[in-house]
């Protein structure tokens, strides 16, 4: 589903991603971990066609990037740590607006709102929503057009425990529908719960990769620490 | 094509709806315009005859200054909540975003002008309601909005933000200012059309050139 | 490490020579003009520097287009260099214009089309440099500068035409008796030689400066890269 080979991204003289290789199979839920500055957000932005690679091979859902970015976007749903929503529009109006951009009619809107638990607040301005609610609506926006791939950039940022749990439940439901998901995160434990595979990014390259099946908490910590200290696997 | 127009329409509808909810931007532009006219009133101390010969200049100076407020806020909204990303992620042509935003900005500018012009007429007893004059206002506003929207999209990504927009915008829009003022004056003072036509032509030329160039380069402003 | 190409050294010598010869021609070869006296000699340099200003302006616009198409850093540096050089030369041209205008028309500044447009171009350059200083990402900085230069390239001629249609006092330099009454003058053969040679000399000088500036930009980039590499080796 996603193939990345020798990806390089430079900002002027500074290289953030250095010949990165990365693969995600269809239906996988991959959590991308790593310290700040490792390049997680950059990688995600490139996969979502928002950023162009400096060099390398990137293919998402059989579309080459950056050349076929426009075609990819119809199949892509993105949740960022910013809500990407208009505060002065209601929840329903936000979905209506984005629906028009994706050529989706208004029929799906109540269904989506219900899925993320916001149906009773459909006519309230997004400005009045808590952060958790905004993130839920953001997920609703991301799946409105039934994308095959979901990219999430640290979606749990700024959420309290309860809100985080609600988000997790929605993510599990959504992911179960056969979508391929890539999520960046700082939260080791949460990622191990949600994802089927953990990938560690360090200094612009993949340092470690492991399945989450039968992964003990101590293994988890080892995975992270050794990945950062050591070289690549 | 249909999807393209639909997206443009959606963006315009969204801008109008969000602005209508708060009307912050519109009020700011309106109040600012009236204040500018007030300042000109005292700064220039116009007697009756002088007023008529300066009306075009005073009005256009007002529109240009008020316009920057509208432009800044319109793009700031997109940038602050990351909404611009939301637009960029949609499967629409980038130029749809440009056209949508430009038409939205143009609309707000015209609304403000629609209120300022009668007010000016009322205060100074100079009639501005001729088709020629209004046509000039439209042409000038189009050129200004197009270049302004493009530059605002650039400026909103810099560190220096708000202050930078007028600095970048004003020198480039001088042809609009010069031509619009001359043409407006011509219509107000009932100068024969043959003499005004050159200025109208300059406005049309400017609009065509810059709208085209803006669409061609807009992609480059949004990519990373 | 970029070595200084020998061609560049050759160009340095050539342009220095040409400018010296031009000065010689202007001060010793061309006759002193009847009506205006020595002050008129400013004219040669005034036009030559304004000419270089215009060259820089056009180069900046073209470099902008080339950068957008190729994304090669050298076009960004070339555009920036052209703007910097043009900024200085237009400033010199404007000042020389004042020096000439004062004794002839008894005023420091006239709102005539060419002078006013030059002043507007200076403001556009200032805006260009301010834009650059507000952007940290090198890719964005280069792209936005290129776009602004292209916009300027189209806007300025339109501005000039508009102002021209408004008013004019700038002397019609070459030609008739009418010209003399407007403050212009006729050019005889030695004057023409001095004039065109000055134009040529300053054009060569412009290319020389631009080349040096591009080299400087490339060296700067190299320094940054080396610094980053050394930081990484340490950690």
Q: Alpha-carbon distance C137 to C149, whole Å?
A: 18
Instruction: Give the nearest partner residue to A52 out of B7, B10, B223, using CB atoms.
Output: B223
A10 pLDDT band, cuts 50/70/90, is confident
Are B160 and C134 inside 8 Å of each other by CB? yes
Mean pLDDT of C105-130: 88
Number of helical H runs and strand E runs in chain B: 9, 0
Question: Using CA atoms in the order A166, A168, A173, A174, what is the torsion angle rounded to 10 degrees?
Answer: 110
Tokens read off for B79: 């940038």
Over the stretch C205-215, which tens digit does the pLDDT of each residue have? 999 999 999 99
Query: How many folded domains does chain B comprise?
Result: 1
Sole residue written with tokens 């508009």? C162
Q: Tell me which residue of A45, A4, A66 sits closest to A151, measured CA to CA.
A: A45
Q: Alpha-carbon distance B116 to C15, whole Å?
A: 58
Q: Alpha-carbon distance A101 to B4, whole Å?
A: 9
Tokens read off for C49: 């520097």
Interface test with A, best of C145, C228, C234, C235 (most A CBs within 10 A): C228
Are B3 and A89 inside 8 Å of each other by CB? no
Query: Is there a domain that residue C1 lies in?
Result: no
Over the stretch A110-132, which tens digit does the pLDDT of each residue have? 988 888 888 898 899 998 998 88
Q: What CA–CA distances, in Å, run from A104 to A58, A110, B177?
A: 28, 13, 43
Are A89 and B17 inside 8 Å of each other by CB? yes
Chain C CB contacts of A14 under 8 Å are: 228
B79 interfaces chain A, CB cutoff of 8 Å: no
- B75-108 burial, b at 16+ Cβ within 10 Å, e below that, comes to bbbbbebebbbbbbbbbbbbebbbbbbbbbbbbb
A208 pLDDT band, cuts 50/70/90, is confident
Q: Tell me which residue of C152, C1, C33 sits closest to C87, measured CA to CA.
A: C152
CA distance B19 to chain A (A): 8
Chain A CB contacts of B86 under 8 Å are: 84-85, 98, 141
Query: Is there a domain that residue C187 lies in?
Result: yes
Chain A CB contacts of B7 under 8 Å are: 100-101
CA distance C85 to chain B (A): 20
Tokens read off for C143: 């792209």
State phi, psi for A32 to the nearest 5 degrees: -100, 115
Whether residue A94 contacts residue A146, with contact meaning beta carbons closer than 8 Å, is answered with: no
Query: Is there a domain that residue C163 lies in?
Result: yes
Strands A76-79 and A149-153: parallel
Residue of B nearest to C132 (CA): B158
Are B81 and A83 inside 8 Å of each other by CB? yes
pLDDT for B213: 94
Q: Tell me which residue of A45, A39, A29 sits closest to A181, measured CA to CA.
A: A29
Compute the radius of gyration of chain A from its Cα atoms. 18
A13 interfaces chain C, CB cutoff of 8 Å: yes
Q: What residues contact B209, with CB distance under 8 A and at least 6 apart?
A: C154, C158
DSSP E strands in A73-222: the ranges are: 76-79, 149-153, 180-185, 197-202, 205-211
- pLDDT by residue for chain B (224 residues), tens only, comes to 788 898 999 999 999 998 888 888 888 899 999 999 888 888 887 666 677 778 888 899 999 999 998 898 888 878 777 788 888 898 888 899 999 999 999 999 999 999 999 988 888 777 778 888 899 999 999 999 999 999 999 998 888 777 899 999 999 999 999 999 999 988 888 888 888 888 999 999 999 999 999 999 998 998 87
Tokens read off for B213: 């160039």
Tokens read off for B139: 């042409």
pTM above 0.90, yes or no: no
Query: Is there a domain that residue C6 lies in?
Result: no
| ipTM summary value | 0.89
Q: Report the half-sphere exposure of B206 (CA within 13 A, side-chain side).
A: 34
Task: Please check the confidence at residue A232 and state whether its pLDDT lies above 50.
Answer: no
Residue of A nearest to C220 (CA): A13
State phi, psi for A205 to the nearest 5 degrees: -140, 165
Altogether, the residues listed in chain C come to a count of 235
pLDDT for C182: 46
Instruction: State the residue range of the domain holding C139.
Output: 12-234
Tell me, what DSSP letter sits at residue C32? P
Residue of B nearest to A93 (CA): B14
Whether residue B29 contacts residue B120, with contact meaning beta carbons closer than 8 Å, is answered with: no
Q: What residues contact A194, with CB distance under 8 A and at least 6 apart?
A: A29, A31, A168, A171, A172, A175, A183
Residue of C nearest to B203 (CA): C158
So where are chain A's domains?
81-146
A3 burial level (CB within 10 Å; 0-12, 13-18, 19+): middle
Handedness of CA B88, B29, B141, B72 (dihedral sign): negative
C172 pLDDT band, cuts 50/70/90, is very low
pLDDT for B163: 86
Query: Is there a domain that residue C139 lies in?
Result: yes
Task: Please check the confidence at residue C186 and state whether its pLDDT lies above 70.
Answer: no
pLDDT for C181: 44
Chain C CB contacts of A12 under 8 Å are: 137-139, 221, 224
Whether residue B132 contacts residue B56, with contact meaning beta carbons closer than 8 Å, is answered with: no
Helix (H, G, I), strand (E, B) or coil at C37: strand
Query: Is there a domain that residue C4 lies in?
Result: no
Q: Alpha-carbon distance A77 to A175, whole Å?
A: 12
CA distance C214 to chain B (A): 23
DSSP letters along B4-58, please? HHHHHHHHHHHHHHHHHHH-HHHHHHHHHHHHHHHHHHHHH---HHHHHHHHHHH
Interface test with A, best of B15, B26, B89 (most A CBs within 10 A): B89
pLDDT for A188: 82
Q: What residues contact B94, with CB distance under 8 A and at least 6 apart?
A: B88, B218, B219, B222
Query: Is there a domain that residue C2 lies in?
Result: no
Task: Please check the confidence at residue C178 and state whether its pLDDT lies above 70.
Answer: no
Task: Please check the confidence at residue C126 and state whether its pLDDT lies above 60.
Answer: yes
pLDDT for C205: 93
Query: How many folded domains does chain C comprise?
Result: 1
Query: Is there a domain that residue C157 lies in?
Result: yes
Compute the radius of gyration of chain C from its Cα atoms. 21
Distance of CA B9 to the CA centre of its chain: 19
Q: Which helix (H) or strand (E) holds A33?
A: strand A29-33
pLDDT for C180: 42
Interface test with B, best of A88, A93, A147, A157 (most B CBs within 10 A): A88
A229 interfaces chain C, CB cutoff of 8 Å: no
Q: Report the half-sphere exposure of B5 (CA within 13 A, side-chain side).
A: 2
Tokens read off for A108: 């799906």
Which partners does chain A have (≥3 C-beta pairs < 8 Å)? B, C
Compute the radius of gyration of chain B from its Cα atoms. 18
More confident site: C69 or A192: C69
Tell me: cis bond preceding A66? Omega within 30 of 0 counts. Answer: yes
State phi, psi for A102 to the nearest 5 degrees: -100, 10
pLDDT for C174: 42
Instruction: State the residue range of the domain holding B149.
Output: 2-222
Over the stretch A148-185, which tens digit does the pLDDT of each residue have? 999 999 988 888 888 888 888 888 887 767 789 999 98
C25 pLDDT band, cuts 50/70/90, is confident
Task: Please check the confidence at residue C79 and state whether its pLDDT lies above 50.
Answer: yes
Are B164 and C134 inside 8 Å of each other by CB? yes
Q: What residues contact A13, with CB distance under 8 A and at least 6 apart?
A: C138, C221, C224, C225, C228
């Amino acid at each position: 589903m996603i193939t990345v080979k020798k990806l390089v991204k430079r900002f002027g003289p500074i290289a953030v991603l250095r010949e990165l290789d990365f693969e995600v199979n269809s239906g996988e839920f991959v959590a991308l971990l790593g310290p700040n500055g490792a390049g997680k957000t950059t990688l995600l932005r490139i996969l979502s066609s928002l950023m162009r690679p400096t060099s390398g091979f990137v293919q998402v859902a059989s579309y080459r990037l950056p050349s076929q970015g426009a075609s990819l976007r119809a199949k892509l749903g993105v949740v960022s740590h910013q809500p990407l929503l208009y505060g002065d529009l209601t929840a329903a109006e936000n979905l209506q607006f984005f629906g028009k951009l994706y050529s989706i009619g208004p029929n799906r809107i109540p269904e989506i709102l219900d899925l993320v638990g916001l149906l009773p607040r459909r006519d309230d301005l997004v400005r009045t929503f808590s952060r958790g609610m905004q993130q839920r609506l953001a997920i609703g926006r991301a799946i409105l057009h039934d994308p095959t791939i979901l990219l999430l950039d640290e979606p749990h940022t700024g959420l309290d425990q309860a809100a985080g749990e609600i988000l997790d439940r929605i993510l599990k439901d959504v992911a179960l529908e056969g979508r391929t998901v890539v999520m960046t995160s700082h939260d080791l434990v949460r990622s191990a719960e949600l994802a089927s595979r953990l990938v560690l990014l360090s200094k612009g390259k993949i340092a470690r990769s492991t399945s989450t099946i039968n992964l003990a908490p101590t293994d988890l910590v080892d995975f992270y620490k050794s990945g950062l200290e050591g070289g690549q696997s | 094509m249909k999807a393209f127009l639909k997206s443009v329409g959606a963006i315009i509808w969204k801008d109008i709806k969000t602005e209508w909810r708060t009307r912050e931007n519109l009020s700011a532009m309106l109040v600012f315009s009236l204040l500018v006219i007030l300042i000109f009133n005292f700064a220039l101390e116009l007697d009756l005859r002088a007023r008529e010969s300066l009306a075009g200049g005073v009005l256009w100076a007002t529109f240009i200054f008020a316009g920057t407020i509208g432009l800044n806020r319109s793009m700031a909204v997109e940038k602050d909540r990351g909404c611009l990303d939301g637009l960029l992620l949609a499967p629409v042509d980038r130029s749809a975003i440009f056209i949508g935003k430009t038409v939205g900005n143009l609309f707000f500018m015209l609304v403000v002008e629609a209120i300022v012009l009668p007010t000016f007429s009322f205060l100074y007893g100079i009639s501005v309601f001729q088709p020629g004059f209004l046509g000039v206002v439209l042409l000038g506003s189009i050129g200004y909005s197009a270049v302004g929207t493009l530059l605002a999209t650039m400026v909103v990504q810099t560190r220096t933000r708000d202050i930078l927009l007028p600095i970048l915008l004003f020198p480039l829009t001088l042809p609009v200012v010069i031509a619009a003022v001359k043409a407006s004056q011509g219509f107000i003072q009932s100068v024969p059309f043959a003499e005004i036509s050159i200025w109208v032509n300059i406005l049309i030329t400017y609009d065509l050139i810059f709208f085209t160039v803006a669409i061609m380069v807009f992609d480059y402003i949004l990519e990373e | 490490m970029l070595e200084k190409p020998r061609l560049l050294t050759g160009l340095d010598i050539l342009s220095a020579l040409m400018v010296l010869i031009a000065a010689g021609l202007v001060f010793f070869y061309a006759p002193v003009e009847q009506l205006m006296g020595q002050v008129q000699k400013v004219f040669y340099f005034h036009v030559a520097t304004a000419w270089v200003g215009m060259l820089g302006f056009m180069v900046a616009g073209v470099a902008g287009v080339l950068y957008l198409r190729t994304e090669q850093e050298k076009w960004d540096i070339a555009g920036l260099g052209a703007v910097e050089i043009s900024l200085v030369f237009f400033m010199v041209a404007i000042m020389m214009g004042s020096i000439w205008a004062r004794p002839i028309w008894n005023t420091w500044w006239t709102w005539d089309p060419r002078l006013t447009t030059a002043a507007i171009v200076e403001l556009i350059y200032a805006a260009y440099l301010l834009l650059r200083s507000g952007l940290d990402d090198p890719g964005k900085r280069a792209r936005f500068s290129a776009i602004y230069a292209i916009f300027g390239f189209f806007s300025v001629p339109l501005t000039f035409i508009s102002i021209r249609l408004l008013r004019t006092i700038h002397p019609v330099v070459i030609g008739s008796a009418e010209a003399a009454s407007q403050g212009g003058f006729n050019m005889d053969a030695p004057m023409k030689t001095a004039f065109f040679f000055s134009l040529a000399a300053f054009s060569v000088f412009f290319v020389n400066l631009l080349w040096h500036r591009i080299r400087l930009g490339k060296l700067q980039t190299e320094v940054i890269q080396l610094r980053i590499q050394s930081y990484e080796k340490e950690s």
